[in-house]
Amino acid sequence: SFLHNSPFFASAPTSGSWRESRGLSRTRPHSSALGGLQPLILGHKGAPQVAPENTLASLRVALELGADGVEFDVRPCRSGELVVIHDESVDRTTNGRGRVSSLSLSQLKALDAGSWFHPRFEGERIPTLEVALEVASSASLIDIELKVDVRRRRAHIGRRALGIVAERGLLDRVLFSSFDPFVLWHLRHLDPRVRTGLLLAPRRQAAWMRAWRMGETSFDVLCPHHQMLNPEFVGRARANGYGLLVWTISEPAEMRRLAQLGIDGLITDRPDLALRVLREEAS
């Protein structure tokens, strides 16, 4: 396939162990039980099987279930603040309607982001990035996916997210990921300490190819969909110094397959299940 033969891999600088070079040593208490070669487990939007996605409740539950870290999505609202929500609109995950980019922070804060999932989560709100980082501050790794709907806002999203993370002293524990390579490029130029991960999907290769043509290969991590992973893909990524953080895995058999391929981390809707499977795999 295109991905396995892409010169993007061949043109990237080679580096040592991703964990060593990026300071991703495991610090959560359970992690030693997994063994040093086991992948990090990140809760996708928190723990969306147990609590409403991308809420503070969901982030807390993911860490309580034993995840090493969390992945969540951020996008700007009308008034410029970064809020934690996956979709362009609030329709699916709140009791409101409308595009996030058309609503102010005060309007978003008035919405109920929990009742759609279960009545006991009534009153959960759409978090700001600042509050989400407070809840996730104990995580070994926080993957912030930057959602870019309007290209002219790339610089704003990157600058604002970087400022919030740096202000809290969390740069060493945050990975900024995006399907948009140029927001990641902008971040890297704002601060060379930033760690970036390029999201890859089987049918979304155009942005990746544009980035390669422009010589933009300074990502630390590739974040491919799990169906893209095979030994050749992993080998090429490793040969060129990329870490591998794979999404979104919920089936035990696929968790085992990816662990055996030697990935660095997996993003899952079921962090509790992943922890159990990887412990069994390591024993």
Of the residues 4, 44, 118, 156, only one is catalytic, namely: 44
Round to whole Å and give the CA distance between 100 and 81. 11
Residue 116 DSSP symbol: T
Round to whole Å and give the CA distance between 260 and 254. 10
Give the closest residue to 178 by CA, choosing from 239, 238, 230, 247.
247
118 noted as active-site residue: no
SS3 state of residue 189 = helix
Round to whole Å and give the CA distance between 268 and 157. 25
44 noted as active-site residue: yes
Torsion over CA: 41, 52, 100, 130 (sign):
negative
Copy the structure tokens of residue 45: 């939007």
Helix or strand holding residue 57 (H, E): helix 56-64
Strand-strand pairing, 141-146 and 82-84: unpaired
What would the DSSP string read from start to end of 83-114? EE-SSSBSTTTSS--SBGGGS-HHHHHTS-SS
- C-alpha atoms less than 13 angstroms from C-alpha of 151 in its C-beta half-sphere: 4
Of the residues 4, 30, 86, 118, only one is catalytic, namely: 86
Name the burial class of residue 20, with classes exposed (0-12), middle (13-18) and buried (19+) by CB atoms within 10 angstroms of its CB. Answer: exposed
- Active-site annotation, residues: 44, 86
